Structure 1
Amino acid sequence: MTTPDQSMTQEMRDAQGRVLVFDSGMGGLTVAREICQMAPALKVDYAADTGFFPYGDKSDEALRARLPDVAEALVREAQPDVFVIACNTASTLALDEVRARLDIPVVGTVPAIKPAASLTRTGVIGLLATPGTIRRAYTAKLIEDFASEITVILHGSVELVRLAEAFAAGEAYDGGGFTAALAPIFDAKDGGDVDTIVLACTHFPLVRAQLAAAAPDGVTFIDSGAAIARQTLRVLEGAAPQPRTGEAGGRLYITDEGGDHGRLVKVCGRFGFDRVCPPVLLPAKR
């Protein structure tokens, strides 16, 4: 006898259509991996906004101006049925603007604050993100809505994004950087009671094991990757995917030319996105 959960899992595995997963760099690969594992029949492509990487240290104004344009250009080129913004910074800032620009469903990424608040036993959680996500009003609203009864210690790190990319590419890296990234959380008032840390940047699950090794025993790390994948498949089912050519997934899109993208191409290839397409360039604004 098939249980409802098993039935849903089979439906997910059999899902059809094309999905484009988008991030500023390679962090969104952790979300793409979850989608591919849940629905192996899907055609999944990946796009990195190499022309504006990293997002975590860009101004709100610059990102709001760019994100709808780059999303529109990528969707026009890749022709997906669903566009997934696998980036907390972009989603917490401009998700509505991107949805208004595109004529296909858009799935965003938000920090896993709600499940972390339910999981904690001590009532103290950490939120490890980029500075951009930390300062967003969207993040503050999530804390107000779902974690108002507990203590949330926030820390934003751009350096951990770079460290995660170096690790994923198999390059030399400073292992002490993981301890340094966590120190502001554990050294804060009540930091010794933290038992759950939200990885609120899609880059950070790339180094989950390294962060766990650098943390005290008993600390749980969670992210929203699996939840995003499930939501993508729900949206895809309701979107009635359009017939496409027989072209397989695994395409990689970038948004600039002439740069050194060897690291990105290498890591994306490891995740199955090994068909590098011509750069998708934005027209110069007057």
Structure 2
Amino acid sequence: MSDARPILIFDSGVGGLSIAGPVRAALPRAPIVYAADSAGFPYGTKSEAEIAARVPALLGRLAERHHPRLIVIACNTASTIALPAVRAALDCPIVGTVPAIKPAALLSRTRTIGVLGTEATVRQPYVDDLAARFAADCTVIRHGSAALVALAEGMLAGVAPDPTAVRAELDGLFDQPGGAGIDVIVNACTHFPLLEPVMAAAVAGVAPGLRFVDGGPGIARRVAHLTQGQDWPDRPSPHRLVFTRLDAREAAIGRSLAGYGYAAPERL
């Protein structure tokens, strides 16, 4: 018997697509509702109180409308601030996204790791805890970048990212004391894997062999584990794309995603 309940993937913008891709690859028959809080974008410059109030309320509305079997908060900022409140409020499995410091520490040879996220994420005590638990023998250098988030959003709306601007943001890591030793960067914002080819090219001359890691593959494995043995539709319909504001930018993003199996965007 087929079960049409979707997996709901939520982010402030398009960054969660870097999570949706691995989830779709792991579960090709799973219907996806991708929800972006475009009216509240960006989260990285908001206060903890704003995010803690906004995210559970929005996910409550989305859960009532779409009846998901599982929700992925595909946003490091929202996860590090609002995940406990969302789990307490909703009666379905909730998977959060946290900076991939553990796999970065396993990869690093220089024992110097860069954590590149939003301003709100990199200042969270949760990141301190991850570094202490999994990278205690490493130097962990952090940088918060709202500009990279905007560049990733613009790219999905059809505006090519400026390599000079990308390099300037990465210099926020490399120019810190000890930054020249960074050999692994944690993409601690789900927007940033979308820019990874541009970021790698921007620093190829000064950081050969630099590697990037993110939480997408691990989250996909977690979602597959939590839904193991469940039924899926025999013929899944197009994935749904939901925005809290639907203006010209969101319409352009919808056109970009049409070829990836997403239906025309709708408004929450």
TM-score normalised by length of structure 1: 0.86
Whether 2:202 is the aligned partner of 1:211: answer no
Contact 1:46 1:253 in 2 (8 A): yes
| Residues 1:257 and 1:195: Cα distance change in structure 2 (over 3 Å) | closer
Give the partner amino acid of 2:251.
Answer: G
Percent of aligned positions that are identical: 42
1:169, distance to aligned residue in structure 2 (A):
2.9
SS at match of 1:248: coil
SS at match of 2:194: helix
1:36, distance to aligned residue in structure 2 (A):
0.7
CA distance in 2, matches of 1:152, 1:219: 15
Contact 2:29 2:233 in 1 (8 A): no
CA distance in 1, matches of 2:163, 2:252: 19
The answer for the alignment partner of 1:252 in structure 2 is 241
> Can you list the C-alpha shifts for 1:19-50, whole angstroms capped at 9, x where unaligned?
11110100101110111111111111200011
> Can you list the C-alpha shifts for 1:160-193, whole angstroms capped at 9, x where unaligned?
0111122233314422011111102111111111
- The correspondence of residues 157-236 of structure 1 with structure 2, limited to 5 A, is 157-215=145-203, 216-236=207-227
Q: Which runs of 5+ in 2 are unaligned?
A: none
Tell which deviates more after alignment, 169-178 or 217-226: 169-178
CA distance in 2, matches of 1:260, 1:167: 11
SS at match of 2:227: helix
The answer for the alignment partner of 1:81 in structure 2 is 69
CA distance in 2, matches of 1:96, 1:259: 34
1:197, distance to aligned residue in structure 2 (A):
0.5
CA distance in 1, matches of 2:238, 2:87: 23
TM-score normalised by length of structure 2: 0.92
The answer for the alignment partner of 1:5 in structure 2 is none
CA distance in 2, matches of 1:78, 1:176: 41
Give the partner amino acid of 1:237.
Answer: Q
| Residues 1:57 and 1:91: Cα distance change in structure 2 (over 3 Å) | same
CA RMSD, aligned part only?
2.1
- Give the number of equivalent residue pairs: 263
CA distance in 2, matches of 1:259, 1:170: 11
CA distance in 2, matches of 1:90, 1:271: 25
Task: Report runs of 4+ in structure 1 exceeding 6 Å deviation.
Answer: 243-247
Give the partner amino acid of 1:253.
Answer: V
Contact 2:115 2:187 in 1 (8 A): yes
CA distance in 1, matches of 2:249, 2:4: 34
CA distance in 1, matches of 2:97, 2:148: 19
Tell which deviates more after alignment, 206-215 or 151-160: 206-215
The answer for the alignment partner of 1:6 in structure 2 is none
Q: Which runs of 5+ in 1 are unaligned?
A: 1-14, 281-286
> Can you list the C-alpha shifts for 1:222-244, whole angstroms capped at 9, x where unaligned?
11101111111111227x56x88
